Amino acid sequence: MVDVVALTQDLIRCPSVTPEDAGAQDVLIRVLEPLGFACTKLRYGAVDNLFARRGAAGPHLCFAGHTDVVPTGDEALWSSPPFAANIVDGQMIGRGAADMKGNIAAFIAALAAFPAGKGSISLLITGDEEGPAIDGTVKVLEWMKKNGHIPDACIVGEPTNPEKLGDEIKIGRRGSLSGLLTAHGIQGHVAYPHRADNPIPKLARMIDALSSLELDQGSEFFGESTLQFSNVHVGNTADNVIPAAASARFNVRFNDLWTPETLEAELRAALDLVGESYALETTCGARSFITPPGPFTDLVRDSVAAATGRVPALTTSGGTSDARFIRQYCPVVECGLINKTIHKADESAAVDDLRTLETVYKTVLERFFASAQ
């Protein structure tokens, strides 16, 4: 048997701030190998990844997760050392407790109680989810495809619940498009504006045009797409100089009604209507994706309900996750702990929730392999 609480503590005590592994994946290997898993270390660039699989025949379920964590920030803001994994009033405090070492520990504890010989189970563990996400899940999936390890379905242990275990599971995520908008002008003295061309009013009109743009009203599984400006930059320290250029950064979280290409075309059309010259650079951080409700999403939802007494909503909100890469290969659902404290000081997970999540995952395993027989 594997104690979910003790394993979570062992993982938290590895200070694996992305992309450092700090021994976290070795902790997993020491637990997984006695359970019959063949473990393969995969290092790409500065990133350590782990693929582990038990069984080669029958239906194949994969669990995907990450052992890397975000920096702690000012440790003086923590009530308990961030890598001590202390339990205070039933809460395990530590960086990665909820995002997502506790989730990984819960799945492995469920595995330890699940008999071998029923289909095939694998784990895809990366050390690059909180980083650029270049040398992690993407590269491991390519390796898995090349070596015949693509699963029939995947569950990602992201913390998906806003308040209570059983609130939500994620069946998709919005896409992310970042933009740099620049208006050009002619530099000059503010006392002689007729000899200059001020780009700031131009930029303001374009910012207003994009901010006022209604991209859509949502789709069947997604809310409306949203555009938010995050920075305006002129770089001018003088009060008496009209600058030569002004720029602004923005981000669009978009639903499945858009691709990055159609979205950029829509933004350019809105800017063209303003009638000012501009330069626009865009970068797509993620495309939107969806696993439509069906047998696998039903199985995970019903497993959560059986373990928690709460029927989770099927949602697509929040930021991006590595599920966006996995969906290109198989159906994927995200299901894990509560996300209220992730990336904050005093990140924590309730000990009771860790044990309940273990039950959720055990129920998923039982039902997945029972339904596939």
Amino acid at 334: E
- Is 129 considered catalytic here? yes
CA dist list (Å): 70 to 82, 298, 343:
11, 32, 7
- Is 346 considered catalytic here? no
Q: Which of 10, 68, 266, 347 is flagged as catalytic? A: 68
Q: Are strands 153-156 and 60-66 parallel, antiparallel or unpaired?
A: parallel
Q: Which residues, in sequence order, are CB contacts of 138 under 8 Å at separation 6+?
A: 325
Q: Which of 21, 99, 129, 167 is flagged as catalytic? A: 129
Asked if 21 and 127 touch (Cβ cutoff 8 Å), the reply is yes
Active site residues: 68, 129
